[in-house]
Structures are given as C-alpha cells and as structure tokens.
Structure 1
C-alpha cells in the first residue's frame, strides 16, 4: 500500500476495551509505519490517560451509557448522544479515515454510526460471549465483526462474523521462559506457591474484601500473594503491603511477569482477562462481576468452565464455597494440571494478526 493510511480506533471505559484497540493499532503500525492514527474515547474515562501513555493521540466525546435503573443521569443521555454524534461527524469530516475500528464501549457508538452513514468501512471487535448494546446496534451497518466466541450469530449478521479471538499483550506469549526473572522482580520465594489476584483495571470491591478476610487461610497453604487491588482501593489495602508474604499493588504494569510468577490466579472474567489467561495457561478461579450488562462476565467464565479449563465461584457463594474450592485445588496437582492443559487449548494466540488481516481486506476493497 503506497499511500499514507488514516485510521480511527474507538473504544473505552475499561481496560478491556482500551487495550485491544491499542494492540490492533500497534500491529497496523508494525505493517504500515506511516499510518496516522486517531483514537476517540469518552471524556473523563481512563482511555484519556492510557491511550496517550501508549503513544497515540485521542479526542474525547461527551457520552456515557444508559443506566439500567431510572436515574437523573439518564435524563442527560439524549443531549450527550446528540452532542457526540455532532462531534463525531466533525472528527470524521476533518480526519477523513480510511477505516474506523470499534472495540466496544459507549464512545465507539457515535463514531462508527457516523462512519457507516458516510460509507466509510468499519470493523467491530467484540470481546465478549454476550455483546453489549452498542455493538449490537452497530453490527447492522458494520462491514466486519471480529469475535472471540462461538454462537454470536444469535446477535450479529452471520455473514459478517469472523472468529479471531481477542487481542492480547504480545509479552504474554513467552511467559514460560520468564519465571526466574519474575520471581526476582517481585522478590518472591522459590519455596512457596504464588497466588496472583486480579480484579480488573479499576479493582473489584468484593474480591478485595475476600482476600482481606481470607489471606491468613491462604497463607497457611504455603503461599505468597501478589494482590492487584485497583486504584480505587489501594489506599484502603496498602497497609498489608510487604506483610506476611503479601504484596499489594494498585496496578501491575509488568503483567507478563506477574503471570509468569503465578501458580494459581484469582480473576474477574472480563473478556480480555479471559483471553489472556487462556494464553497464560495457569489454573484459574474466576469470580465474575455480577454488576455488568447482561451478566456477561459469568457467561465468559462459563465458556471456559464448561471445557473443564477453570473453576468459578459466584460472588454470592464466596462465603460458603471459597475455602473449600481453594484448598481442594491446592491439594490436587492433578486438578491443577488438568485446568492448565485445558485452558491452553482454548487460546487464540494470533488474534491481533487475524483482526488486522481483516482490516487490510477492507482497505483493499
């Protein structure tokens, strides 16, 4: 391709929408180094920080989702929608993208809607086994829909679906060779098993409460803990940092090393996390968030659990089931090996490459 490409990527609200968009941009840049990129996000959300940190320019729209309960915030939604559609049109008219890529979240709605209305090719990357409302609405006009799970023809036009998997950080593909480096980096003992606790980029209140309550029990299993409690909760839990073989982090930048150090992982079941954990191939206990649209984290987790590739405990059952589930897993090397072997079989390691292959096809039409 001789001419300079111009590509808009949009998605945000959580790391699960932001990091796939960044991974796609990085792969496009690797193939076409002169490409000009513009990210479009929602004002005041985490993409406004994370995207510039990754080296890309971003503009924000005044947009948010509709709350499921009747709230005052919903009254402003029509005004936000009109404003964001108007500004999305201005951005597209000025930037003149060759392709627009959406990875989910509210901000991708207006920009992909305007792109479709102008005949600009668009691609949706749907991370979840149960799509959010934004992508369901956009799918009617999108040219291609890249998915990570089977069965999404229930929600999307079947002729547009390509199963690619979810983009993941490339550093995760080689964690097996990083264990010694990881143990040294986190100053961990080689004589103890390591539990890594992940609640998502912002943190998970219920998982944090669980770890605070249960860490004495966990440590009796000859374990050490790397606990990512999230930025919202760090001030509350940092008192436990470097006590009793516990490390507390607000955010872990070197996730490849955290995964390399892990023997067991406790995690939310956001789509990007699930995709990463399939590649990582360690025994996982999922604790899905019940506070997400359509309970999609439980559906993500069950897609793995049904393949005998992970364990799951619902938040409502933690008090009753956690200690029993955890101690049984720790006591059975056979069960750990089974989960590890089976989850690796579900990994789609070339997802980013396959998605960008589809972008190239749109560019060459």
Structure 2
C-alpha cells in the first residue's frame, strides 16, 4: 500500500488544498496521515472533515518582529524536527506534501532526513517565510502564480495554477436561497467575507453602510467567530460567523463578492466568475502577500481593490455600485483566464514523485 503524509497549518489557507487532495488519495487506496501542531486550526479542520490519522508535533511560530517567544521557539522547532523525523521513520510514507505554514518546516526537514521526497505548494504571489525556509529540502515547489518561481533560486518550481475544491463546482443557487431564506427576486446578492484575520474593520464599515447597501442588494455577511451583531435585523441582510458546507451554494447564489485577498479564496471567485472587491490585509497585519495578490488580479481586470486605509462607508458604497455597474466587463475579463485543473495536475505530480 502506498503511503502519503500531509502537513500545513497555522491558518485555514494552509489546510484548504490538503482537504481537497486527501479524499482523492483515500479513494485511490493510499494510507493517508497528517502531521500538524498540537492545538492549531489544522487539527480542528482535519479531524472534523476527514478520517485520517493525525500526528501532532512541537512547533514555534516564525515571526518577523521582536518577541521574547523568539528566544524559545527555535528550541521548539528543533524538538519538532526530531518528532517529525520519528513519525516519518515509523510511518514510512512514499511522499510528503506540504502546504506551508510554520508547522510544516520541521516536517519537511524530517522527511528530508529520512530521504523521503517532498512536494511544497505555495498559493501566494510571493512565498511565505515557512516555504522559503523549507524550499532547500524539497524536491518540487508548486505555484499558483507563474511569477512566484522568480522568488526561488532553483529549478524546482512547477506552475500548476489554482487548486480548487471539487465541491465548489457543484454549488446550487436555489439551495443557497433556501439556506439564507432569500426569495428569488431581481435584487442582486452581495457576499461579504472578512476572513479570520482582521475582519473587525470590514464588519464595522459594512454595518455602517448597511442602510445604503440593502437599498440595492441582498447582503450575506460572514463576519468571523464571535463577531455577530444580534442587534441588527433587516429582511435583506443575513449574518453568519462562517459558512462551511453551504458556501458553494451561497457563492452560486451571489452576484458580487467583497473579500480579503487570500490566494485560495480569490481564485475560487475567479473560477466562478464572481466580480469582486478585494480589501487586502495591510503590511502591518501581514507580510504583504495579499497586497500583491490583489494587485495582480487588478492588473488583469478581475477585481477592484480598496485599500483598508481608504475603507469608509462612502468608499465602500461607491466601489460596490461601480462594480455592479461594470459587472459584465469584469466577467468578460475573467472569461479570458485559462482555467487549468490544478487539483488533478497536483495529484498526478505527487503520484509520479512517489513512484520515483
């Protein structure tokens, strides 16, 4: 029996591709395992969605700023490398697949020490710190943006395009309307996704703008854990902490999207041809990857970009109205995107690497 070990975590974006891949390997009869942190979001997502063996290791966060934890964390990383080495030595996988995030670095090094081939996937326009550190120990680095290869000084890169979940293609607008309780009518629907990081600012401005937004749109607002406002009630407004299984249906129902600019999400909107307003995380909130992701999409005419420092009720309403007025133009630009089956390409590449 072939064996594969997955890793990646720290945020949902570092788990999504794994969740898309794992069922394909299970269906093909592979023994499948996952190495993640003790209490990270990856453990919650993997255990709630997939029946795979989960192995936890020690890990430190890779920070770009001063923190006293930076003194302790290198020791945690070294401990994590030893733990990952022992797990991989015992499990004997044919290949290790890493989606990135700080937990992946010890796993990649542990696989390299065991002489197990490693494939890394980088979603963003520029690679994260974890993938930069892990890249010397990897056999292949897969990218979503073709420009990402320039960040690596080697010939390991393979451009495969976005990796999209299969269930995303099967969303049903009618099921979305039943879930939200919206009737079928001519007023277009607007989906607002603040993300798990930095949603508070978007939530505040959306709620300040709600009276004007609901004049022309039905609004579905995903506001993040613990950020519901029970005082708000409107027949054309629905708010949720998050939506999981029903998200493909809600996306199918909605005409426009407001979102952060995480790579996985914006490529899903592109595949579904949903015109979007992107509000990328600032450099103070992140390493700046969302700024580059959003700029790339804006250059190609897929979206409007609204920088957070310019985010006000007036600017949000103006941008939404402009996006709606020019919806056909954005859809035409999205039609030019040559969609590849990144999930199948990545799956086949992993199998070929395991055979070698």
TM over 0.5: yes
Partner of 2:288: 295
| Secondary structure in 1 matching 2:158 | strand
Contact persistence 1:278–1:347 (CA under 8 A): no
In the alignment, structure 1 residue 79 sits paired with structure 2 residue 75: yes
1: distance between equivalents of 2:307 and 2:338?
A: 24
More deviation, 127-136/212-221? 212-221
Contact persistence 1:140–1:156 (CA under 8 A): no
Please state how far the C-alpha of 1:349 moved relative to its aligned partner.
Answer: 4.7
2: distance between equivalents of 1:348 and 1:27?
A: 20
More deviation, 186-195/57-66? 57-66
1: distance between equivalents of 2:231 and 2:40?
A: 28
2: distance between equivalents of 1:20 and 1:75?
A: 32
In the alignment, structure 1 residue 211 sits paired with structure 2 residue 206: yes
In the alignment, structure 1 residue 324 sits paired with structure 2 residue 318: yes
Contact persistence 1:203–1:233 (CA under 8 A): no
Equivalent positions of 1:1-365 (< 5 A) are: 4-30=1-27, 32-33=28-29, 35-55=30-50, 56-175=52-171, 178-191=172-185, 192-201=187-196, 204-221=199-216, 223-234=217-228, 237-240=229-232, 242-253=233-244, 254-290=246-282, 291-319=284-312, 321-330=315-324, 332=325, 335-346=326-337, 348-365=339-356
Which whole-Å deviations, capped at 9, do the CAs of 1:109-164 have from their partners, x for residues lacking one? Answer: 00011111222100001111111011112212211111110122322245211111
2: distance between equivalents of 1:216 and 1:230?
A: 21
2: distance between equivalents of 1:206 and 1:346?
A: 31
| Secondary structure in 2 matching 1:294 | coil
Q: 1:29 to 1:60 in 2, by over 3 A?
A: same
Which whole-Å deviations, capped at 9, do the CAs of 1:226-253 have from their partners, x for residues lacking one? Answer: 111111423xx2432x534211111101
Contact persistence 1:109–1:134 (CA under 8 A): yes
The CA RMSD over aligned residues, in Å, is: 1.8
Aligned length: 351
Consecutive unaligned residues in structure 2, runs of 5 or more: none
| Secondary structure in 1 matching 2:64 | coil
1: distance between equivalents of 2:179 and 2:145?
A: 35
TM-score by length of 1: 0.91
Please state how far the C-alpha of 1:166 moved relative to its aligned partner.
Answer: 2.8
| Secondary structure in 2 matching 1:44 | coil
Please state how far the C-alpha of 1:179 moved relative to its aligned partner.
Answer: 1.9
Contact persistence 1:130–1:294 (CA under 8 A): no
Contact persistence 1:201–1:251 (CA under 8 A): no
2: distance between equivalents of 1:68 and 1:328?
A: 37
Please state how far the C-alpha of 1:321 moved relative to its aligned partner.
Answer: 2.7
TM-score by length of 2: 0.93
Which whole-Å deviations, capped at 9, do the CAs of 1:231-290 have from their partners, x for residues lacking one? Answer: 1423xx2432x5342111111011101101111100111111012111111110001111
2: distance between equivalents of 1:280 and 1:201?
A: 22
Please state how far the C-alpha of 1:69 moved relative to its aligned partner.
Answer: 2.6
Contact persistence 1:144–1:161 (CA under 8 A): yes
